[in-house]
Every structure is written in structure tokens, then in C-alpha cells.
Amino acid sequence: MLDVKLNPSQRKTAEMAKNIANVKGRSLWADARRRFVQNKAAMVSVFVLGLVILFSFFGGYATEYDNETIDWNVLGSVAKVGQPSIESGHYFGFDDSARDLYSRVVQGSRISLAVGVVGAFIAVLVGTLYGAVAGFVGGRVDSIMMRLVDIFMSIPYMFVLILLLVVFGRSITMIFVGIGLTAWLDMSRIVRGQTLSLKNKEFIEAAMVTGVSTPKIILRHIVPNLLGVVVVYATLLVPQMILTESFISFLGLGVQEPLTSWGALISEGVKTMYYGAYWQLGFPLGFFIVAIFCFFFIGDGLRDALDPKDR
Amino acid sequence: MLNFIIRRVAIAVPTLLILLVASFWLMQTAPGGPFTSERPLPQQVLDNINAKYGLDDPLPVQLWNYLVGIVTEFDFGPSYKYKDRTVNDIIAQGFPVTLKYGTISFLVAIVTGCTLGVAAAIRQNTALDYFAVGVTIGAQVLPNFVMAPILIMIFTVWLGILPGGGWHGGEWPYLIMPVIALSTSFMASIARLTRSAMLEVLRSNFIRTARAKGLPDRTIILRHAIKPAMLPVISYLGPAFVGMVTGSFIIDSIFGTGGVGYFYVNSALNRDYAVMMGLTILLGSMTIMFNMVVDILYAWIDPKIRL
Amino acid sequence: MNISIKAALMVSAFALASPALAAGTHPTTGEALADDQSFTYRVLDEHSSVDPQIVEDVSGSEIVRDLFEGLYSQDNQGVLVPGVALSHTTNEDKTVYTFTLRDNATWSDGKPVTAGDFVYAWRRLADPATASQYQWYMEVMAIANAGPVMAGDMPTSELGVKAIDDHTLEVTLSTSLPYFHLTTTHSSTFPTPAWAIEEHGADWTKPANIVSNGAYVLTEHVPNERSVRSRNEAYWNNDATILDTVTALVINDENVALQRYFAGELDRTEIPTGQYPDLSVSNPDETTVFPRLCSYYYMFNMRPDGPAAMQDLNVRKALSYAVNRDIITENVLQGGQTAAYTFTPGATANFSVPDVDYAGMSQDERNAAAVEMMAAAGYDASNPLDLTLIYNTSEGHKKIAIAVSQMWKQTLGVNVTLENQEWKTFLQTRSNGDYQVARGGWCGDYNEASTFLDLVQSGSGYNDSKYNSPAVDELLASAKTMDDPQANYTAIEEAIAADMPLIPIYHYAGNYMIATSLKNWPVDNVEQNWYSRNLYKVAE
């Protein structure tokens, strides 16, 4: 529709501008990659996180024990005879039900990493777009979209989860649905705030005046300028998501015994830490902390790399 | 601005109403009711109870009566579980508790978080930065349900200097551990958001201009940099507030402080409908109000943002 | 110097002002009593109410038993002792009970406690307008006209209870009930002050308004934090009360509660699951174990339209035999629980545990028999049974479910899916019959085997297995009027063992840490009806 009003020469200019933008865009990403690779903390984190992921998939091959078989000789005296031991092959000792903690951590890592990554991904995707649209379009649309977020934030989340369980039954996918339902809300508020401010910047105003379409402005100009905050906040969401999973499972919607997760292992470990079984908290918490550190440093690295002002 | 507030308050009413109807529907659809128990009640007893609380009316009638009660008498109904207390009693008792340790935690989180974040940003890649990042990550990765028992172990059991729980009208020894346990993760989030926003602002053109003009660093940071850097932090306050109310469940459960956080989770598990509705309305109004304040703050930080 | 003299004077003045018994010796045992007679204990959850006719939970009943006094109370062994009633007489066929009340009992506001207060309270309990969850207790007590009054078909004045004079209460029953007087220790039968309830309405239980006739009065209540009760000076036997204040602290987390116990903030708390063995070594004087009137079991869904595998007696018996109860009690729970092969706990009064066949076997024999029965049912390694076990979210239930599922898997090759559910969802799923195997727990309402065995009656609302045996129904019905129903109870337990509608797993035990200074905890009272006025603290 807009095309009709443009004369041929203008269309050419627009195309040229588009080409230039494309070329520049590619170099922006290449630039970012270069900067990211130079960031030592981020690269070490990528490496460590890679190890944790490998561990979660292949760690099981390093042990003869599975995550559900109870050692009846240990059951009932885990705090005394269930310590970690290389000789016995129970590298991380036993959990409180006398199952091999190593294989439980391996399996729990898989679930928790998936939950953290999927949760953050949903938050970034949905939250960013939702917030950017609301902030940029503004007016009544913004008002309705943000009041919806207010409602979703205050609605009793537990009932939503309970109903999900009743309607769809229990499955691993339901954890991701449960996580996804809340993950994006906070992000959308933050993104909208940034967008409100960006909207008044000269380059956005310029784009608007030259007739660039709204979706294009949002995707090409607003979103790239938001990535810094988005990435940092996404890394803050990862630990939250991983812990939310254990709450969802508590309601019966998420992972069920004998499967486990970092959140479940940590909350079990907290209960036994008073009685000397420190390893039951230590190992899962250690993995959790290491992974969160990695996510944080990778996040900071990405932020620095993607900062459009930092050409 | 007054115009803006009036508009927002006006729109808050339908928003709350939608929230209310949706929550009411969710609750009633969830399996089980307030009087479902391990030993099912005889039908006659159940009928009497339902009649007393009006739970035998059709749902729309129940909802209507509930709304009328709120509007005409500010009566949020009875608790089905704690039978000699009303929802008004529970909120009047628990909300000031949550409000007190919540507000203190909130302030502690904002002040320490912003300070750490700004300090880390202006001394990027120095020991101070690494220290601040280390502290904040450390605070973030220790979930509060892990931190709270550890605090009790250290301060109550080993050192014996703080009471292990209770509220006692909010005297300060009873406040310390709840505030630490509740504020740290928010402090960390705020610090990290502040640091990243500050770094971005410090690289922007107007700061460069100010630097070029020869303004002293302190003036640049205090006068020009902090305000725009606060934008994402301010956006975060709304969600952070909701997170604190729901996070206070852990605090109430572990420290026995008696705030509404405990009721927020347990009234859902007990299907104590009226308590859940009352708390949802409370949380909803607070969220709406908080986000309104945040929007007003936007305009203060960046005058170009129109309300 | 001056200041310390002043302080010393003040302390002695304070000591003089406090009740005579606060320091001194125990009147019967002669133990030196502590100066500080305050008792603080942990409760898991906020109590539901302190209104005798409304209260429905254990922690609330504990408070009500301190605040109010009914016709009879229980001693440390659970034997009836006079409360407001001194004695009672009954007619030939035990349908009319006449209680003589003491004339020195008073309410905390000074008014005398009369038979009329009981009449008021019992009518209030039966009144549909009160909508008490314990209304049905009137039917357990078999009070005449309870049913029609509860249904609103008769005015409450028709209820079979009346005051002959201020100190004589006459109760008419709808049927002969030899043990009626035993039911009067229940908190829902305690008297309530009509004038206070009329004046304050639902707010009458607030500390400022409450009027009570027990050894204590409610002085402070901070919901979800604490409730404090203090000595009632107007109580008729106040001189014998030793503890001055009793405080219940709400602490949800049992591990935190234990830490606070060690920090000296609590005098009594529950021992977390699995911690008893260690604590009994490290703190032998403080750990206390005693049997409870409760059974833990797994039920099978025996509905005719339910899962086919559960209809097969071989499958049910095999699953039951393969559960190694000793591992559950000795390695998982470790708190003095007893392995259960019958549904009714051995601690139940006038009940001796029958020798059901599989209880006498060794676990190896049971396992071998279980494998055979499973094969007979047509399941083997190539065609394993798939089973879902549901339980409500709780650390203890989870541990037991994990252990049992492994036993079934390792012994019988059954593929077990564990499914925890939030409490209300769980209850709904179970009563709808949408399950194969579900967890159950049952505590006796009174100290008699029928409170357990009624659960397998075909029409019982508690029978979630939907076990239906006319023979068992018949035995239950005839037991009601027997003087010694043990023979019937034995036959019922044997029928349960033969038909296996449920798997008895263990009988509960109470596990407490009790401060060494706190004395006279009634460990032998299996119903755990404890009264603060019988407790005391000794000097250490």
C-alpha cells in the first residue's frame, strides 16, 4: 500500500538502504562474535557449561548404578555409610533413600538445564516481543497489553498449574508449559520500559519519519538495542526457572520420582544437611551454582558483545 | 500527571474485576473443595456447611454476593479453614507483618543493589567489579530456602545471638534473618541490572560529551548517568514486588513470622476460597499500583516518555 | 551496690507476687519445681479454631482441652477421670445417662458452670446453623433425635439432652450404647458460654472476649505465629495447676523446629523422619516414642469398573506380600513404628492382634509366595504388570512410595509409576476412583477397633477401595451390640488378609523431643489427649 505512493527513485533508495542495513547487520553479528570470543570469562564459562551439558548426557556411562535402585544395606544409615567414595563407585554418595546420588545428579542436570534454557528462551522470545510491541505501539494497545500482564502476575498461579494437571495430565512437557506461563511476564515489563525510552531516540524517530513499517522498526531497531538488558535479565531468570520447577513438581505436575532435578535434590539436601549428610546438598547445589555462574558470565559476555554502541 | 493517575485508577477497576472473575473460576474448577478431607463428611453435614457459607448457590450468584459484600461492607468473607477468623482478620493481622519485613527487604535490596551495581560499572574490570559481581552472584545462587536454614544454623544454633524465628511485633532481632533471606536474591538482580544499564549509559554520547566538557566524574555519574541507568531497575520493581510477596511464603514457613505469604500458598492448597480471593485482590491491587508508580517514575527519569 | 540491692528487692517482691506453686516442690512426687513454669511447644500448622463445637484439627483440640473442661477427662493412661461431671448413672438398657456435675466449677468470668451450659453446647453442635464439621459426632454418641435435628427437621430443643437442675444433666440415647460416657472426652462435647457467644458472635473466641471453664484462658493469639494460654484463676482446681503459661508456636518446617528446640526456644517438638536413631543416642533423655492409634496403608481400587489387574486377588496378595514392612519401619521411618499385617493397631483398647497367616511367614517366604501368585495371575518378565501408585505430596509418603516401588520392582518385576499429587487433587482422584493403588492413612476417632474396621464396610464413605464383602458387613453389624466383639474383629481382620483390599504397612508412633525439665507427658495415652494442667517443669 505504501509502495503505491512512492515514486521509482524512492523505491530504489529504500532498497539501497535495505541492502546497506543487511550488510551492516551481518558485520554487526560478526563483530559481536569476535568480541564475545575475546571475552575470557565468557569463553571459560561456555567451556564449563559445555562440560556440564556433556556430563548430563554422558555422565551415566561412568557408573554402573542407575538413579532408582535402592541399596537396602545402606537404607536407614545413609548419613553414616552413604558417603561419597571412589572405591565403591558411588562418587557422590547416596541420597536419603539410599540411591546412587551421582546418577541422580546426572539425570537431574538434564531436566534442570532443559528447564532453565527453555524458560529463558520463552522469556526472551515472548517477553521481548510482547514488551517491545506494547512499548512501541503505545496508547490503548499498550494499556490493554500491560493490564493483561498485571492480571497474569496476580492470578493465583497454583490453580493454573493444578488445572493444567487435571486437564492435560502429567508429563515432562507440562513443566515447560508451567514454566513458560510465568517466565515472560517480568521480561515484558522490563522490555517495555526500555522501549518507551528508546522510542524517543533520534534514530527511531528517523526511521518512523522515513516510513519504515512498525514491525520492521521493532525487529530491526528496537530489539537489537534491547538485547543488553534482555540477555542480562534472561540469565537472572535461569536460576528462578530451575527452582520454580521443583515447586511445579511439588504440585504433581512436573517430574516425578524416581526422576529428579536440581531443585528437588537441593530441597531434599537442605533437609538432611543438619544431620551430617552434607554431600546431599553439596553436589546438586555445586552443579547448580557452577551452571548459574556460567550462565551469568555468558550473559555478561553476550551483553558486551551485542551492545550496539560499542562498535 | 493527575490526569494519568485518574485514568489508571479508572482502568484498574475493570482490570481487578477480570482478575477476580478469572481467579474465582479457576478456584472453583480446581478439584476438591474447602471441606474435602481424608474422612469425607456425611452429606447432611456437608449440606449444612454449604448452606451456611452460601456455597450451594450457583456460581454467578456466589460471585455476585461476594462482590456485593466487598462493595457495601468491605467484607471479604469468612475463612473456611480458620473458622473463627474472617479474611479481613487474616489480612489485617498478616499483611502488616509482610509489609514490614517486605518493605525493609525491598529498601535493603534497592540500596545495596544499586550501590554495588554502580560501583561495579564505574570500576569495570577492576577488583571492585569482580568483588561486586562475586557477591551478587553468590547471593543469587543460594536459593532462600537454602539460605534461611543456614542462617538459623549459624546465628541461632552456633552463635546463639538471634532468635530462630517468630515475630514479636517485628522487633529488630526477629527481623534480621527474614530480611537477609528475602532481600539477597533481589539485591543481586538489581545489582546486575544496574551494572549492565550503567555500563551502557556510560558509553553513550551524552556522557562522552559531558566528559569532553571536562566535568568531574562524580558529577557526571550522579547528575547524568544514574538516572537513565535506573530505568531497567525501575521496570524490575513491579515484578520484584510480586516475587517478594510470593517469596515471603518461604520466610513465613521457615521463620514462623505469620505474614500473608504463608496464607497465599496454603489457602490455595486448602481451597480456602475467600482467603485466596482476598489475597489475590490484595496482590492484584498492589501490582497495579506498583506498576502505575513505575510508569510515573519513567516520566521522571526520562522526560521524553509521555504518560 | 545500691542498684543491685534494689534489683534483689525487686526480684524477691516479684517472687512473692507469683503463685505459690511456681517455685517449690511437686505436691505428690516431691521433685523440686522450676521457677519458670512456662511450656512452649511446636505445632505444624495454625489451629482451625478454639471454639469447642467448631474445632476440627488436632492442634486446635489440644488448646480446647486446656481452655475448656467437659464432663469427663482422661488421665495419663487414657482412663476416664471426673471433669465437670463427678459421676453418672444409667438405666437398665443403657439408653439414658444421668450425670452429676460438681458444684464448684466456674467460668473464667466467675459464673458457675451448669448443666444448662452443656445443653446449650450440644444443641449448638447439632444445630444446622452452626454447621460444625463435627456435627456427625452427635450421631456417634447416638443422642436421641440427633439426625432430624441436624437435618433441620426438628428444633434443637428436641435433642435428647436436658438439664434436670443446675448440676444434673440427663442424656437420652436413640440406642443402647454401653460406652457412651467414653465419648464425652471429645472436645466437641465441651460446654460453651451462651452469653459470651450471644454478645460477641463469631468473635467470642478472640482473647479479649473468650470465656472458658478449663484450667487455662486464652491470653494471646497471633495467627500463624503463636497462641498463649495462661492459668485460669477461676478454675475449680487451679491450686493443682503447675504450669503458668503454655505457648504454641507455629513452625511449618520440622527441621527448623528441631534446631529451635536445640537452641532452647521449645520444650517439645516432633522428631523429623529418620532422625530418631541418631537422636536417641545423642539425646537419650529427650527422645520419646509411643504408639499411636493410626494405620498407614495402601489401598487397591476394587471398583468393578476399575483397573482389571486390581480385581485379581493374586495380584493384590502378591503386591501385599512383597512389601517388606520391616524395612519400612526400621530403615525408612526408624521412629518406633510397628510393622502392620492387620489394619487395626495393636495399641487399640480391648483388641488383641489376630494371627493372620502371612504375618507369621518370613519375608523370604512371603516373597516366594508373592512371585508364585504373580505368575498365577499371568504376569512375568515378558508381560510385566504396569502399576501407578498415587500419594499426596509429603516427604514421608515419598520415601515410603520409593521403597515400596523398588520392592515391587525387584521382587515381582512390576513397573511402578509414582505420582504425587497436591492434597485436595489427591483426595478427589482417590474418591473418584481414578487410581490403581493409593496411599491411605487412618487415625481412630475413639479407642475401639470398630473405628478402624468400619472402613471396610461396603457402604462406608471412607471405603475408597470400594471393598464389598457381605460377610464382613454382617460381622461388623453384629459386633456393635456384642459385649466382647473380639471374635468378630478377628474374623474381619482374617477376611482382610484373605481378600487384601488394602495393604496394611505400619502403625504410627509418636516421636517427640521433650525437654528433660518437662515432666509427666502422657506417653501411655494412645489417643494423645494431653492436658497442660498435668504437666510440670522441674528445676535443673
B145: contact with C, CB 8 A cutoff: no
- Which of B42, B84, B253 lies closest to C51 in CB terms? B84
Closest-CA distance of chain A to residue B51, Å = 25
Closest-CA distance of chain A to residue C78, Å = 33
Q: Tell me what the mean pLDDT of segment B273-290 comes to.
A: 89
Closest-CA distance of chain C to residue A249, Å = 8
> What would the pLDDT profile of C31-40 be if each residue is shown by its tens digit?
888 888 999 9
Distance CA C367, CA C407 (A): 10
Closest-CA distance of chain B to residue A6, Å = 31
Distance CA C420, CA B265 (A): 18
* Residue scoring higher pLDDT (C165 or A165): C165
Distance CA B132, CA B119 (A): 8
Look at residue A70 and tell me if it is in a domain. no
Look at B40 and C462 and tell me if their CB atoms are within 8 Å.
Answer: yes
Q: Are C306 and C361 in contact (CB under 8 A)?
A: no
Phi then psi dihedrals of residue A195, to 5 deg:
-65, -40
Closest-CA distance of chain B to residue C248, Å = 11
Look at residue A154 and tell me if it is in a domain. yes
Look at residue A23 and tell me if it is in a domain. no
Task: Quote the domain boundaries for residue A244.
Answer: 47-57+87-310
pLDDT at C11 over 50: no
> What would the pLDDT profile of C454-472 be if each residue is shown by its tens digit?
888 888 888 888 888 898 8
Q: What CATH number is associated with residue A103?
A: 1.10.3720.10
Write down the pLDDT at residue C39. Answer: 94
Look at B291 and A189 and tell me if their CB atoms are within 8 Å.
Answer: yes
Distance CA A85, CA C206 (A): 58
Q: Are A98 and A159 in contact (CB under 8 A)?
A: no
At C114, the pLDDT band (50, 70, 90 cuts) reads very high
> What would the pLDDT profile of A71-107 be if each residue is shown by its tens digit?
888 787 877 887 787 777 788 888 888 888 888 999 9
> What would the pLDDT profile of A171-224 be if each residue is shown by its tens digit?
778 888 888 888 888 889 889 988 888 888 888 888 888 888 888 888 888 888
- Which of A143, A186, A293 lies closest to B239 in CB terms? A186
Task: Choose from A66, A70, A159, A174 for mutation: most chain C CBs within 10 A.
Answer: A70
B197: contact with A, CB 8 A cutoff: yes
- Which of C259, C406, C420 lies closest to A69 in CB terms? C406
pLDDT at A4 over 70: no
At C1, the pLDDT band (50, 70, 90 cuts) reads very low
Strand partners, C392: C421
Contact residues on chain A for B22, CB-CB shorter than 8 A: 151, 155
Distance CA B254, CA B153 (A): 12
A274: contact with C, CB 8 A cutoff: yes
The cell numbers describing B18, all together, are 477480570
Q: Which CATH number is correct for C2-247+515-537, 1.20.1370.20, 3.90.76.10, 3.40.50.300, 1.20.1560.10? A: 3.90.76.10
Torsion of CA A37, A40, A42, A48, to 10 degrees: 110
- Which of A153, A185, A296 lies closest to B137 in CB terms? A296
- Which of C393, C399, C403 lies closest to A250 in CB terms? C393
Look at C441 and B38 and tell me if their CB atoms are within 8 Å.
Answer: yes
Look at A68 and C421 and tell me if their CB atoms are within 8 Å.
Answer: no
Phi then psi dihedrals of residue C249, to 5 deg:
-105, 130
Residue C480 CA to its chain's centroid (Å)? 22
Contact residues on chain A for C278, CB-CB shorter than 8 A: 79, 275
Contact residues on chain A for B140, CB-CB shorter than 8 A: 236, 239, 292, 296
pLDDT at A128 over 50: yes
Phi then psi dihedrals of residue C509, to 5 deg:
-135, 145
Write down the pLDDT at residue C4. Answer: 41
Q: Tell me what the mean pLDDT of segment A228-246 comes to.
A: 84
Which residues between 255 and 274 in chain B have a beta carbon less than 8 angstroms from any beta carbon of chain A? 265, 268-269
Helices A8-38 and A40-58 meet at what angle, rounded to 10? Answer: 80
Distance CA B174, CA B162 (A): 7
Q: Are C437 and C307 in contact (CB under 8 A)?
A: no
Number of domains, chain A = 1
Closest-CA distance of chain C to residue B306, Å = 45
CATH number given to C291-510: 3.10.105.10
Task: Choose from B11, B141, B144 for mutation: most chain A CBs within 10 A.
Answer: B141
Distance CA B116, CA B188 (A): 9
pLDDT at A2 over 60: no
Torsion of CA A303, A308, A310, A311, to 10 degrees: 130
> What would the pLDDT profile of C394-410 be if each residue is shown by its tens digit?
888 999 999 999 999 99
Look at residue A25 and tell me if it is in a domain. no
Look at B166 and C136 and tell me if their CB atoms are within 8 Å.
Answer: no
Closest-CA distance of chain A to residue C520, Å = 29
Contact residues on chain B for A270, CB-CB shorter than 8 A: 145-146, 149
Scan for cell 519375608, then name that residue. Answer: C363
Write down the pLDDT at residue C18. Answer: 44
B51: contact with C, CB 8 A cutoff: yes
> Across all residues in chain B, what is the average pLDDT?
85
> Across all residues in chain A, what is the average pLDDT?
81
A264: contact with C, CB 8 A cutoff: no
Closest-CA distance of chain C to residue B134, Å = 29
Write down the pLDDT at residue A56. Answer: 86
Distance CA A28, CA B18 (A): 45
B134: contact with A, CB 8 A cutoff: no
Look at A289 and B287 and tell me if their CB atoms are within 8 Å.
Answer: no
The cell numbers describing C412, all together, are 515381582
Look at C150 and B35 and tell me if their CB atoms are within 8 Å.
Answer: no
Write down the pLDDT at residue A19. Answer: 54
Write down the pLDDT at residue A256. Answer: 83
- Closest chain B residue to C226, measured at CA: B166
User: Minimum mean pLDDT among A20-29, A81-90, B172-181: which range?
Assistant: A20-29
User: Minimum mean pLDDT among A131-140, B29-38, C183-192, C487-496: which range?
Assistant: B29-38
A75: contact with C, CB 8 A cutoff: yes
Closest-CA distance of chain B to residue C135, Å = 6
Q: Tell me, what's the ipTM?
A: 0.85
> What would the pLDDT profile of C198-214 be if each residue is shown by its tens digit?
999 888 999 999 999 99
- Which of A189, A273, A310 lies closest to B203 in CB terms? A310
* Residue scoring higher pLDDT (C157 or C9): C157
The cell numbers describing B9, all together, are 485508577
Look at residue A134 and tell me if it is in a domain. yes
B150: contact with C, CB 8 A cutoff: no
> Across all residues in chain C, what is the average pLDDT?
87
> What would the pLDDT profile of B92-122 be if each residue is shown by its tens digit?
888 999 988 988 998 999 999 998 888 888 8
Q: Which helix (H) or strand (E) holds C116?
A: helix C115-126
At A10, the pLDDT band (50, 70, 90 cuts) reads low
User: Which contacts qualify for A214-220: CB closer than 8 Å, 24 or more apart?
Assistant: A214/A136, A214/A137, A217/A136, A218/A129, A218/A132, A218/A133, A218/A136, A220/A21
Distance CA A48, CA C73 (A): 67
pLDDT at C169 over 90: yes
- Which of B49, B83, B256 lies closest to C251 in CB terms? B256
Contact residues on chain A for B269, CB-CB shorter than 8 A: 158
Look at C131 and B93 and tell me if their CB atoms are within 8 Å.
Answer: no
At C19, the pLDDT band (50, 70, 90 cuts) reads very low
Torsion of CA A114, A117, A123, A128, to 10 degrees: -150
Distances (CA, A) of A166 to A159, B31, C425: 10, 8, 8
Q: Is the peptide bond before A258 cis (omega within 30 degrees of 0)?
A: yes
Residue A92, classed as helix, strand or coil, is coil
Look at residue A62 and tell me if it is in a domain. no
pLDDT at C186 over 60: yes
Residue C361, classed as helix, strand or coil, is coil
Look at residue A1 and tell me if it is in a domain. no
Residue A21 burial (10 A CB sphere; 0-12, 13-18, 19+) = middle
> What would the pLDDT profile of C216-266 be if each residue is shown by its tens digit?
999 999 888 889 999 999 999 998 899 999 999 988 888 889 988 988 889
Contact residues on chain C for B54, CB-CB shorter than 8 A: none
C48: contact with B, CB 8 A cutoff: yes
Contact residues on chain A for C334, CB-CB shorter than 8 A: 76
Nearest CA to C238 out of C218, C220, C206, C213 is that of C213
> What would the pLDDT profile of B228-250 be if each residue is shown by its tens digit?
888 888 888 878 887 887 788 88
Contact residues on chain B for C130, CB-CB shorter than 8 A: 52
Task: Choose from A35, A137, A159, A165 for mutation: most chain B CBs within 10 A.
Answer: A159
* Residue scoring higher pLDDT (B38 or A51): A51
Contact residues on chain A for B121, CB-CB shorter than 8 A: none
User: Domain-by-domain residue ranges, chain C?
Assistant: 2-247+515-537, 291-510
At C539, the pLDDT band (50, 70, 90 cuts) reads confident
Measure CA of the first residue to CA of the last residue in chain C; give whole Å: 29
> What would the pLDDT profile of B140-169 be if each residue is shown by its tens digit?
778 888 888 888 888 888 888 888 888 888
Q: Tell me what the mean pLDDT of segment C304-322 comes to.
A: 89
Chains near C with 3+ CB pairs less than 8 A apart are: A, B
Nearest CA to C131 out of C203, C43, C202, C74 is that of C202
Look at residue A178 and tell me if it is in a domain. yes
